[in-house]
A and B are shown apart, each in its own frame.
Chain A
C-alpha cells in the first residue's frame, strides 16, 4: 500500500451548467469525475431539487495539485460572478495512484 496523496476538488453548483462545467474540467486535465444531485441552502436561497431549475449538483474530482488549482482558478473566473457555486479542496490519501 502506497501512502500517496492527491487533491479532492468538490464543487457544489447549479445543475444548469453541468455540461459546460464537466467539459471545462476534462479540458483542464481531470481524468474523471463523480456527479451527484444535491440539496441545500445558501446565499442564493433554498435549492430543494424539487424541479430542474432549482436543482444543484455536487461534482467531485480526484486529481493532482496542479490540475486541481487550474480547475479551481478557471471556475472562479468563469462562473463565480453569476452562478451559485461553492468550491473547496482537501488532501486525500489514495490507493491507486496510477488512476489519478
Chain B
C-alpha cells in the first residue's frame, strides 16, 4: 500500500476541518476558478495527445463509453427504487451514471505518482460520459412525456460548465499541439497538483457539510454509495480491458465508471426533475462516494486493472 498522496491529505484536512466546524471557507469564486483550471488542464492535456492520433481509431471506444453511460444508471435505478420515490431514484441513478472530474483528476495524479502510463485521450471519454446519464435519469423520472423542455435541457447538458471547459480545452490542445501548448504548460500542467490540492481541500469541506443529511437519510445511501462504485468499477475495468486499454487506461476507465457526478448532474436534475430531493443525491455522491473513491477507490481500481490484465493475458 503506497503512502497517501499529499493531495489526498488536503482532502482529509478539509474533511476534518469541516466536521470540526473550523472557521474555514474558501470563497465561491476560488472554488469556481480551481474547477475551471482543472477542467481546462485535463481537456488541454487530452487534446495535445489527441493531435497525435487518428480520430477514426477512437470511434469504437466512444461508442462503448456512451453505452456504459446508459447502462450504469439503468442498473442502479431498480436498486434505488426499492427504497426511494421515483424522482429521487432516477436522479441518484443519473448521478452515478455520470462522472466526477474531481475523482478523475485524483486518479490521474495517483497514476502519475505511481509511474503508471495511460492513454492520454481518456479525457475525451470524461466529456462524453457527462451526458447520457442525464438523459437516462430524466427519462426514468418522467417517461417520454411532453413535460420536459428538451431544448432548454439540451442547452444545460451540452453547454454546461464541464462540457464547455473540458471540450474547449480538448479542442484548443488538439489545435495547438504539444509545441503550441508549451508556453501555457506552466499554469495548466506544472501547477496542476497544487490546484488539485486546494480544490480537494474545498471538496473536503463540502463533503463534511453533507454528513448531516447523511445522518438523517440513513444507512441505505451509505451502503449504496460504496457498493455501487465498486460494481461500476468492475464493469468499467472489464470494458476498458475489452477495448484494449493499457493497465493505466483500464484503471482510469474503472474510476470513471465508479465516480458519481456532483456538478453537471445536480444542476441538470434541479431543472429537469425539480421534485427530486437534491440533498439525497448530493449526500450520496459527495458525502459517501467521493471520499470513498479518493481515499480507497482509486488505488483499488489500479489493483483491479492489474488483476484484470493478468487474468486476461
Contact = CB atoms under 8 A, between A and B. Distances in A.
A14 B269 CA distance: 13
A16 B206 CA distance: 17
A93 interface: no
B270 A50 contact: no
B282 A53 contact: yes
Given A16-B267, A45-B279, A50 B274 contact: no
A38 to B, nearest CB: 11
A3 interface: no
B11 to A, nearest CB: 15
Contacts of A48: 25, 209
B149 to A, nearest CB: 9
B274 A82 contact: yes
A20 interface: yes
A49 B278 CA distance: 15
Contacts of B192: none
Interface in A41-78: 45-46, 48-55
Per DSSP, chain B at the interface is: helix
A17 B270 contact: yes
A66 to B, nearest CB: 27
B130 interface: no
A49 B270 contact: no
Nearest to A23: B152
Which of B28, B206, B266 is most buried by chain A, counting CB atoms within 10 A of its CB?
Answer: B28
A90 to B, nearest CB: 28
A83 interface: yes
Contacts of A55: 28
Contacts of B274: 81-83
Given A50-B206, A52-B263, A20 B271 contact: yes
Contacts of B213: 45
A37 interface: yes
B271 to A, nearest CB: 7
Interface residues of B, number: 23
Interface string A71-100: 000000000011100000000000000000
A16 B269 CA distance: 10
A82 B275 contact: yes
Contacts of A83: 270, 274
Contact of B275 (A50, A52, A54, A81): A81
A33 B309 CA distance: 59
Contacts of A50: 25-26, 28, 31, 202, 205-206, 209
B28 A49 contact: yes
B262 interface: yes
Which of B152, B205, B271, B274 is most buried by chain A, counting CB atoms within 10 A of its CB?
Answer: B274
A52 B274 CA distance: 16
Which of A20, A49, A50, A54 is most buried by chain B, counting CB atoms within 10 A of its CB?
Answer: A50
A83 B206 CA distance: 21
B28 to A, nearest CB: 5
A61 B205 CA distance: 34
A16 B271 contact: yes
18 contacts: A16-B270, A16-B271, A17-B270, A20-B152, A37-B28, A45-B212, A48-B25, A51-B202, A52-B28, A52-B31, A53-B263, A53-B266, A53-B270, A53-B278, A54-B206, A55-B28, A81-B274, A82-B275
Given A49-B28, A50-B28, 8 more contacts: A17-B270, A20-B152, A20-B271, A48-B25, A50-B205, A53-B282, A82-B275, A83-B270
